[in-house]
Structure 1
Amino acid sequence: MKVDLLIRNGRVIDPSQNLNGHYDLAIREGRIVGLYEKGKTTDAQGMNLEGKETVDAEGYVVTPGLIDLHAHVFPTKTSLGVAADRVGVEQGVTTVVDAGSVGLWSFDAFLEEAVYPSVTRVLAFLNISGDGLCTGGGELADMSRLTPREAAALIRKQPIVRGIKARMSGSVVKQNGIQPLLVAKEAAREAGVPMMVHIGNAPPKLTEILPLLDRGDVVTHAFHGKKGGMFDERGELIPEAQDALGRGVLLDIGHGEASFSFQTLRHAQAQGIMPHVISTDVHQRNIDGPIHSLTHTLTKFLAMGYSLDEVIAASTLAPARILGLENEIGTLKVGACADVSILQIKKEPTMLTDSEQETLETKERVVAYQAITSGKVLTCK
């Protein structure tokens, strides 16, 4: 049987199927049509598979296409934005999710200028402010510019919008306190999608924010090193966070320029808490450091003692589930979209830096080799 693409000899890690071993992967018409033990590529009729194109992945790790759940990829209308392909397929990431750069009033421009021109799949958490980040920030300071009903209606029509974003920091909400989150929740529940809630400096306090979140909602920047975070002065998880986790609220890294601390992660590890999702919050001010790429961010978690299987799950299966797309992306199951990342675990000393300027040296790093999106092979830069 002829297929469009065969990926041979790679070490396949697919948390959606609990796979970690050597397999060959067959792709046809942009879909995964077979996953075979290495060297046993025969179809159900016993016919040998032949690929119009073959990738030899010997020595590489083959995973479902990486998903960055928190990025900013609207460069034509926001000062923070970077081109989706620059932080997407060029870095081994097949799906990026714009986290609130776009609001209702700039959505058409977002489609034309960020989504349609990109090889990378671009999805979005829609900012509850109609402005999004197009006016530079402080978008939740004027309640009259929040668009809950219109946002819910747009989500029902536009499948690329997978949730609602609200930045709940004092510099964003100003005098409005918790009120913008109540409006965001109204829109998200009406549309049947999760919220992604940015946490940072109070007000509002995290103890006010967390009780309003439901199962499937996402706290991004959950492991920042600022005061008033998920962990108290003794490094203990605050009760409101414990309750939220018990309800099924999810924790996202959202590393960013100022939102990830190795020390906070150590507090979490000591209490058996792992982030559900590893994402970058990549934008113009951090792409040259400390973020660099999603694979560089994954390297930090390997250096902190997490297994390769765990970090791949947190950047494929977990975000796909949040997006409600776990049967399409974040998996190598037969029938899924043929989005694949081919990675190398490169043995070389690497210095890693968090948002608090703490450094950590590691002896290996994750490097993107190729990205395959809908069956098309691209070599990473």
Structure 2
Amino acid sequence: MRGTQRNILTVVIALLALQLGSLVAPAYACGCGAMIPDRSERIGVDREESAVRWDGRTETVVMRFHVHGNARRAAWIMPVPSRADVTLGDPALFDELERLTEPEQRDRHYFWPREGDWPLDDTYGDGAAAAPPGAGSGVGVVGRERLGPFDVARLTATDPEALGDWLRTNGFELPERLTDALQPYVERKWEYVAVRLAPQEQGATLYGELTPLRIRFASPELVYPMRLSRLARTAQTLGLYILADHRMEPRSPIGGDRPEVTFAGRIERPEHAVAGLAGGAPVQLTALEQKFPNPARIDDDHHLRAVADTPYREIAYTDRLLTLGGIPVWLLTAGAVLLVAAPACVRMARRRSRRAAGVRSTA
């Protein structure tokens, strides 16, 4: 008995250690940027939501993070192919996009009772189950402004070390792995949006849902920076809403699972937040989900291309026991069979009774 208790205690301690480890694990990369806390603090990203609008010339990315940890401040870096304008995003945008892309609800009926249905349970139910700026050498500060809780700097950098100098000047340490990951952007002469995140309340930590940031830059193609996510130490999930003239899909999985389209369709009359991002015009909306079980395999940014505007919406089924007037159809069927069979059974019983009587009389 003591051995069993000791084993249970060991499992509980291991689970607690695993849970605590997930709360303080460093998140050097998340989605299309790098999140860097102070050396003594930790920050993790529970979910990153991104909405992208591309009109063929200009790209606008709106990002919202759900974070946890004990960091009182952090730096976040996003590479961009050209000079960027940064403003605060509309918090209502993602709620509207979720409503527009939510699955169609349908009922799916079954005939025979299942667990939870009478008589397989004590009570009758319908069996419903829904499916589921300082500066360092080589760094140019092209703009700096305060946006709500964010201190935003727009930078150019001739080498990753120069960007690291800027971060150190502003109180952050650039991880060595991130320096290497930035090299391809330096070679392509991309610029950076560097953001210092800090709660407006004195002494508060970065936790929960952060205010969205809206980043706008010129781009001849629809590109979503993902290369820095290869530094993540745990599996990553990308959720991406794309608003363009046509349905857009990634050219390749870039080291992750195959991207899954969860919605595709034309929005003729977008609501105010979506309309603000789409410029007030009808727009083709595509929603993508992609998993990266091994982020180290990410080898490029997402380059998206136009495909056929075939509409698609997921269907969420609710399984329900087939009923008629509130009575299970299987019970009505069984009752009907019994009603039909009862007279035949009575006749057969009478025949057997008469035969038995005839045999007794002969004897």
TM-score, normalisation: structure 1: 0.24
Larger Rg: 2
Between 1 and 2, higher relative CO (CA 8 Å, sep ≥ 6) is seen in 2
- Structure with greater strand share of residues: 2
TM-score, normalisation: structure 2: 0.25
